[in-house]
């Protein structure tokens, strides 16, 4: 299996051109558009491997690559939101809590200290929850992307019964 993966590109008739094009797109992926095309190629390569093809596909039909790349981006972005949204909420809660505790510091030291401890405990618990959600998103995101690539429709990237 590992040997097949390592030779997947090399078995292609135009593996040199594919490697050069992929490398250039990777270098330019900070410009977003080339990165989306590269994501589309990942979809095509996953689909080819899942269909039992022994050689990597070529960079052809760039419009299709762009559309598939955009769809893959949507799937992975939505699954990343599982961790991003709670992380933003955690940041807001900590920010508000820190402001509140610092305002309480002008009063009694005991109130300020208790508020700081409570904020610390809440931050730790919520931070661990965000960490677990991040691990979940890191596990499900690639599986959802592969499922989308294999099934060929966007909904497959969100079908939990197919993602395992």
Every domain of the chain and the residues it spans: 2-158
Classify burial at 72, counting beta carbons within 10 Å of its beta carbon; exposed 0-12, middle 13-18, buried 19 or more: buried
Q: What tokens does 123 get?
A: 């931050």
Q: Give pLDDT tens digits for 25-46.
A: 999 999 999 999 999 999 999 9
Q: What is the pTM of this model?
A: 0.79
What contacts 66, CB < 8 A, 6 or more positions away? 33, 36, 37, 40
The CA radius of gyration of the chain, in Å to the nearest whole number, is 23
pLDDT of 98 reads 72
Q: Are 64 and 70 in contact (CB under 8 A)?
A: no
At 32, is the secondary structure helix, strand, or coil?
A: coil
For residue 5, pLDDT beyond 80:
no
For residue 60, pLDDT beyond 60:
yes
């Amino acid at each position: 299996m590992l040997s097949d993966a390592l030779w997947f590109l090399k078995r292609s008739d135009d593996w040199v051109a594919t490697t050069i094009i992929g490398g250039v797109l990777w270098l330019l992926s900070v410009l977003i558009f080339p990165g989306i095309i590269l994501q589309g190629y990942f979809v095509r390569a996953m689909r080819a491997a899942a269909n039992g093809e022994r050689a990597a596909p070529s960079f052809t039909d760039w419009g299709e690559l762009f559309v598939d790349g955009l769809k893959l981006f949507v799937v992975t972005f939505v699954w990343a939101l599982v961790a991003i949204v709670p992380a933003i909420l955690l940041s807001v809660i900590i920010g508000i809590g820190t402001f509140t505790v610092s305002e309480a510091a002008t009063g009694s030291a005991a109130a300020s200290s208790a508020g700081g401890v409570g904020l610390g405990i809440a931050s730790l618990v919520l931070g661990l929850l965000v960490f677990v959600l991040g691990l979940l998103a890191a596990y499900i995101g690639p599986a959802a992307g592969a499922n989308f690539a294999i099934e060929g429709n966007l909904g497959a990237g969100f079908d939990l019964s197919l993602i395992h």
